[in-house]
Amino acid sequence: ALELCAIPRVGMPSASSTDLIKKLGIYCREIGVRIIYAGDNDRAGNMLRETLDQTTFYRVCQPPDPYKDWCEFLAGCSDDLSEAIEIVQNYCMKEL
C-alpha cells in the first residue's frame, strides 16, 4: 500500500526475526540512519517495535485506529483510489 502511495520505505523482516531487527537497529544507529517505523498495529508489529527499542531511537508513523495495516487504511479511507492515495499520503506527511 505504501508503494502504491509513493511513500519512501524499506521493508523489514518479520518480528520473528529479532536477531535481524537488532542488527538493523544497531547498524542504523552506528551510521546515523534515522528509522521511521510504519509497521502494522498488531502483535507482530508490537514485537518488532520492542526489538527496535533495544537498539536504536526511531519515530513512528503507523496507520490510524481502527486500521490494522496500511492496506486496510488505504481501502477504508475512500472508495475512490486516487482520493484514498491522497489521504494516505497526507496522513504520512502530517505524521512525519
Q: What is the pLDDT of residues 24-59, one digit of tens each?
A: 889 999 999 988 889 899 988 888 888 889 999 899
* Measured distance CA(24)–CA(18) in Å, rounded: 10
Tell me which of 83 and 13 has the higher pLDDT: 83
**pLDDT at residue 81 above 70?**
yes
Please give the model's pTM, rounded to 2 decimal places.
Answer: 0.83
**Alpha-helix residue ranges (DSSP H) falling in 1-96:** 18-31, 43-53, 70-77, 81-95
Indicate if the pLDDT at residue 15 is higher than 80. no
pLDDT of 16 higher than 80: no
Quote the cell numbers at residue 25: 537497529
The torsion of the CA quartet 80, 85, 89, 91, rounded to 10 degrees, works out to 40
pLDDT at 6 over 90: yes
Q: Which pLDDT score, from 0 to 100, does residue 84 have? A: 97
Which residues are paired to 22 by β-bridges?
Answer: none
Q: How far apart are CA 82 and CA 30, in angstroms?
A: 39
